[in-house]
Chain A
């Protein structure tokens, strides 16, 4: 009995507390950054408690005209898009065999899993009756609904991402046998993940096809599903570039001596792919503009904002990616990636909030409480990422194969 207890204590000390005692661990995490994060999370959880005790009206600025706000526009639409690195990188490595990207697959899958997880948590805050979230899966099937498809795909893909991440967890726990079984599923899971991601990344755009009179004509397009899908790949690649650079700096002790030069080379390769995709995205958007034929709208305030998005956050990062990749300038690729991430966020917000119900008198502006909940979810995502990376073999992957370069 005491033996088991001692072993459990030792296990917790080694696996959870990183080899420290509770007291030492508490002292180690007592930093200014963590204090700030704790403050944000405490405030955000308070707001969420208010939301569930006083209704959506108690904390949000949602109205009868604008039923969707920041929690859908940012938490859901942006969260899912920015989590697209999981399927993008998994298919590049496990299906196309682009081996040199292997070191960033695990962090990409973890980012994807956490992105979806916190998007769903944001959705739970937003749904009027979140306890009924299993209804579309187990109870009533609205098969004509885009929302139904999104619900199913996100449910299945969150499961897939969880399973894709299990080998890392099993390695951490030291369960070699089941870990091997989990790895055997990799190819199938990856292919299934690509199918599901194609469906729901595009369907998040299709959601707005039913509101032609409400989405501003510069952003409404029958090609919305294509826009959302292509830009999700851009978002996925760019997030991997940004996230790997930040991780490399923040978790140097975890990342096994992986030279910065190798990360740079990998970054440049991803940047090249992102340049091509952004180029395609830019011309797709132009086709959408031409199809709508609403050129006169470009002269309005919305038109100016549209041009800022299209030229400043699609074309500019595209050209910067291309130039930087050619010049072998990883730093510039990272700047382009940050711009591209911002561009995808702005595009999602333009469709769902800025350009949504643009012609009604009372415009929606998120409340401070809504912003706080979104910030809280991002903070929790980062904290969870850090907690896992500090313990599990996510970043300290196998070194790059020598034959690659």
Chain B
């Protein structure tokens, strides 16, 4: 990746902060769900993560590669760019701009996976929310149900698929960190066990209470995500949605789906009961027409000559 001199100096200046990270977390501790901690106070906006992501996922080179003007307008991920770095709307306390990469946050209990009618999106035990393109029917309910609006769709393709960050699930299986984490030169991205990274994040806030916003983004958002963020500027200015619920999104529809067996069990006897009562009434009551029964009333039509 291309680092200009200014960026290089910033990388050099902040690298010392990575010493705070415990060795186990940095190496990706065995067991438990994996996560990434993004310390946006350390990100220098070099976009090395974007380049590495594109390479790992065989995507075209990121837009405006090497052009600092790229940050002038906020960008979102696209079907061919699974992660994008944006500059914060407000500078940090030191007057310097802040940057944050966004991508699929890999929710602990993902709305997209619970919404998929064919399980094309699945949450794996190790953390990634993976996509099985060979199952996808293209209903796009995952896009409706993602609180972060992250899944992207190839509207311009004749045979379209959903596209999003896979958390480099295949690399993880091979024991490698995600490509973006490996490429990050400033130590802003740390890959590891989610519980341990939460401890790291809290420790950083605790040891530098004046530097950080006292909130780990992703600890509670949407019921918890695998990507965690620290910041010293407001999170919404970094392009992170702060209007999401803290309860898992699948719980929203679970209640309605729980009613299904009750409807299926209770409606038939109620309907049959109404039918039986009505027939009995018809048998006893004098005013009802004799052919007024359900099953055979239709067949009287043939004999009927008006």
Contact = CB atoms under 8 A, between A and B. Distances in A.
Interface of A: 52-58, 60, 62-65, 67-68, 91, 93-97, 99, 102, 127-130, 132-133, 135-136, 139-142, 144-149, 151, 167, 171, 176, 180, 183-184, 186-187, 190-192, 194-195, 198-199, 202-203, 206-214, 222, 225, 256, 397-399, 401-404
Given A65-B149, A199-B264, A210-B145, 13 more contacts: A99-B289, A128-B136, A128-B137, A128-B154, A132-B135, A132-B138, A146-B141, A183-B296, A202-B259, A206-B256, A207-B141, A213-B241, A403-B287
A186 B282 contact: no
B263 interface: yes
Contacts of A65: 149
A52 B158 contact: yes
22 contacts: A55-B157, A56-B155, A64-B78, A64-B143, A94-B294, A95-B271, A97-B294, A127-B138, A136-B117, A139-B118, A144-B114, A146-B256, A147-B116, A147-B139, A147-B141, A167-B298, A194-B271, A206-B253, A207-B141, A207-B144, A212-B245, A397-B301
B155 A401 contact: no
Contacts of B113: 144
Contact of B161 (A127, A128, A183, A214): A128
B18 interface: no
B302 interface: yes
B263 A57 contact: no
A209 B140 contact: no
B118 A142 contact: yes
Nearest to A213: B243
A95 B144 contact: no
Contact of A91 (B243, B256, B271): B271
B244 interface: yes
Contact of A191 (B78, B144, B268): B268
Given A132-B136, A206-B253, A142 B119 contact: yes
Nearest to B247: A212
Given A135-B137, A140-B135, A256-B306, A97 B282 contact: yes
A142 B302 CA distance: 46
A394 to B, nearest CB: 12
A121 to B, nearest CB: 15
B135 A139 contact: yes
Contact of B274 (A53, A96, A198, A207): A96
A146 B160 contact: no
A58 B155 CA distance: 8
A57 B289 contact: no
Contacts of B114: 144-145, 210
